[in-house]
């Protein structure tokens, strides 16, 4: 299983792209602005999108992805997997024939380019040889993290979250956890803002890391532009014994 980082920033500007990770050639976790750098051939290969939540930095590229994949004679639709609340937000505020065409009705409701599938906490979806398992996390809106398991091991992504009681037991149940992508959006000086907005800062994230029973590669994501060096420095100082690196555009993780 190959995970390619298309976007990993908490904002845009100066080459930054927001959250999107391509798993092999056919599955996305989140669909932020990073998918816009893909060529048409790569875009046409994507047929499954797992969303962590409905915030714009995680869904901004989704309408254009569906449009890029639309053909009158398409054979396989694009299926979007997310919590009921996330799908409801997308239907009401994005694919609503005002902001963007409702591709769940195009060309017909019976044979639509866009398909929705509810994926709530605890659900597992199998695509090929990969099991995508949804985990409840604590953000400012209903959100998910995911573990992705194949014969090579487990890859996990936290989604946007603050201190929580649900992610860590799920990760500890993964005996072969190879890599964890975890968001840490704000520096320690903005801990109050981070907590209010439903995000980690270095000290809260590192405190939770102490609950992890495994020693995977740990990749930091979702940092606010301009704060990356400060956040990384604070994380390494708080958890010097962990294998922690900063995710960057184009990083490839093999599991």
- The pLDDT, as a whole number, for residue 72 is 78
pTM of the full predicted structure? 0.97
Query: b or e along 165-195 (b: 16 or more beta carbons within 10 Å of the residue's beta carbon)?
Result: eebbebbeebeebbbbbbbbbbbbebbeebb
- The pLDDT, as a whole number, for residue 7 is 97
Query: b or e along 223-244 (b: 16 or more beta carbons within 10 Å of the residue's beta carbon)?
Result: bbeebbebbbebbbebbeebeb
- The pLDDT, as a whole number, for residue 165 is 96
Q: Which residues of the chain have pLDDT under 50?
A: none
- Nearest in space to 23 (alpha carbons), one of 164, 179, 141: 179
CATH class for the region spanning 2-254: alpha beta
- The pLDDT, as a whole number, for residue 128 is 95
Helices (H), 182-224: 191-197, 202-209
Cα 53 to Cα 82: distance, rounded to the nearest angstrom: 7
- The pLDDT, as a whole number, for residue 15 is 87
Q: What is the pLDDT of residues 47-72, one digit of tens each?
A: 999 999 999 999 999 999 999 999 87
- The pLDDT, as a whole number, for residue 73 is 78
């Amino acid at each position: 299983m190959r995970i390619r980082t298309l976007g990993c920033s908490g904002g845009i500007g100066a080459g930054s792209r927001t959250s999107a990770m391509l798993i092999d050639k056919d599955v996305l976790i989140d669909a932020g602005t990073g998918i816009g750098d893909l060529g048409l051939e790569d875009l046409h290969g994507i047929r499954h999108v797992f969303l962590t939540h409905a915030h714009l930095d995680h869904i901004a590229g989704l309408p254009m992805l569906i449009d890029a994949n639309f053909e009158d004679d398409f054979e396989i639709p694009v299926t979007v997997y997310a919590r009921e609340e996330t799908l409801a937000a997308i239907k009401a505020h994005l694919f609503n024939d005002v902001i963007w065409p409702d591709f769940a009705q195009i060309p017909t409701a019976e044979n639509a380019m866009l398909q929705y599938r509810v994926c709530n906490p605890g659900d597992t979806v199998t695509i090929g040889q990969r099991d995508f398992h949804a985990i409840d996390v604590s953000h400012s809106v209903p959100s998910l993290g995911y573990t992705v398991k194949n014969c090579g091991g487990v890859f996990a992504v936290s989604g946007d979250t603050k201190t929580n009681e649900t992610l860590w037991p799920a990760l500890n149940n993964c005996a072969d956890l190879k890599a964890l992508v975890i968001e840490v959006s704000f520096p320690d000086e903005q801990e109050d803002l981070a907590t209010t907005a439903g995000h980690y800062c270095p000290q809260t994230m590192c405190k939770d890391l102490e609950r992890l029973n495994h020693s995977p590669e740990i990749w930091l994501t979702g940092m606010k532009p301009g704060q990356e060096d400060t956040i990384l420095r604070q994380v390494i100082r708080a958890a010097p014994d962990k294998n922690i690196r900063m995710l960057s555009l184009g990083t490839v993780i093999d599991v």
